[in-house]
Structure 1
């Protein structure tokens, strides 16, 4: 138990250190930091659907809106193929399509697309009553700005640590509420990265409800800090996040 607690505390400390280190480095490179405050709403469906004992299909759609729900911000579609290494470890190979619209006080020149293959490792465990998820993701990003004639290639690494706490008992059962928190840091790397090596940080807290053994709903607040490619503009996005998780089992039952 002490070893698990030490590992979790070390992971949170590493997240905070990375976030602070890259944010402060970016700040030191610029004499003045411009802040852009936005109010967004992200409405999401996420599912992992088993097709055999080891294999499953990841499905994900996110409708991201500016001004909570009034204006478009992003459309994200992210399918993938999962393979269970063990009951607590899963790898995923997938692809995401993102369409981003101009928003905020420092908008893009127009609507632009992004094509994003990704590779992911997800580890799950428990610390007493608390459920823990570690997610490690690598992304290869092809982005075509609205005023560009060709795509720009970028790399990004992401790490997320999420904790869930049942509120009605020692374990989370059907028709019971829970609390969820996570922090995710994103780091850009490679020759085309400009001044935003620290890409963004996401800090999240939510109230959840387990609808059934296959479905859960989370309603939460996401504080997102995004450093623009110029390195001078930082978005501070206050985001309502609504997520439906729905995992179906299409595998043949023995």
Structure 2
């Protein structure tokens, strides 16, 4: 009976330790850079680099780089065409196949004002060229919709909330992910903003928790310097 109790206790402890090593129990962190650089009255350059971890600063998950050219039809409507490249680790705390992706993407961005709230709708189409290890190559079409709402708290501080849904159009069950989160943005000066927040990634079988720590850089090359 003592042996049975010992084995049962050992099994429970082992399961508890293993569970705590699962990805859904970790608070991961995304370190982010996003930039917008105005080139002319209608055109601007969009840049991005994200470094994503399963934990605070360890257990690498993904790095992604994005470059796009943006055209503004008017102050409320603009279009971005771009490319991105990413590498990723598919599993937490264990060896797994490496993932490499090259993507083309097309964004339609719509801006609106709801009282004191600023709303942005982004519709994104992605063509993903996926390479796993050496032998597996896939092509997938994804559709994403992001709703981002912000509210100014002062001249320098604002609060934001967002929800983004991901659909994989090459699968019969198209739902792939849903991101929901909120946070704060601090305007450091006319060119730089700092961003911090928290969000959850809902996958078909699990939910991941993430912090966001970012820098937003906006420049305007149309202004003449004296």
Q: Indicate the TM-score class for this superposition, using the shorter chain for normalisation.
A: 0.7 to 0.9
Q: Distance in 2 between matches of 1:86 and 1:189?
A: 30
Q: Distance in 2 between matches of 1:236 and 1:251?
A: 44
3-state SS of paired residue (2:132): coil
Does structure 2 conserve the Cα–Cα contact (< 8 Å) formed by 1:49 and 1:58? yes
Partner of 1:200: 177
Tell me the C-alpha RMSD between the 2 structures. 1.9
Aligned counterparts, 1:70-219, within 5 A: 70-104=58-92, 109-146=96-133, 149-168=135-154, 173=155, 176-190=156-170, 193=171, 195=173, 197-219=174-196
1:34-68 per-residue CA deviation (whole Å, 9 max, x = no partner) reads x9514211010001101111011000000001112
Partner of 1:23: none
Structure 2 unaligned spans of 5+: 1-21
1:235: Cα distance to partner? 3.1
1:116: Cα distance to partner? 0.8
Does structure 1 conserve the Cα–Cα contact (< 8 Å) formed by 2:182 and 2:197? yes
Does structure 1 conserve the Cα–Cα contact (< 8 Å) formed by 2:23 and 2:54? no
- Going from structure 1 to structure 2, the CA distance change for 1:108 and 1:202 (only over 3 Å counts) comes to farther
Which of 1 and 2 has greater Rg? 2
Check if 1:49 corresponds to 2:14.
no
Partner of 1:246: 217
Check if 1:220 corresponds to 2:165.
no
Structure 1 unaligned spans of 5+: 1-34, 228-233
Partner of 1:13: none
Does structure 2 conserve the Cα–Cα contact (< 8 Å) formed by 1:36 and 1:235? no
Does structure 2 conserve the Cα–Cα contact (< 8 Å) formed by 1:68 and 1:239? no
- Going from structure 1 to structure 2, the CA distance change for 1:108 and 1:143 (only over 3 Å counts) comes to farther
Count matched residues.
203
1:145: Cα distance to partner? 1.7
How high is the TM-score relative to the length of structure 2?
Answer: 0.84
1:142: Cα distance to partner? 0.8
Q: Distance in 1 between matches of 2:95 and 2:69?
A: 32
How high is the TM-score relative to the length of structure 1?
Answer: 0.75
- Going from structure 1 to structure 2, the CA distance change for 1:102 and 1:187 (only over 3 Å counts) comes to closer
Q: Distance in 1 between matches of 2:124 and 2:209?
A: 24
1:73: Cα distance to partner? 0.7
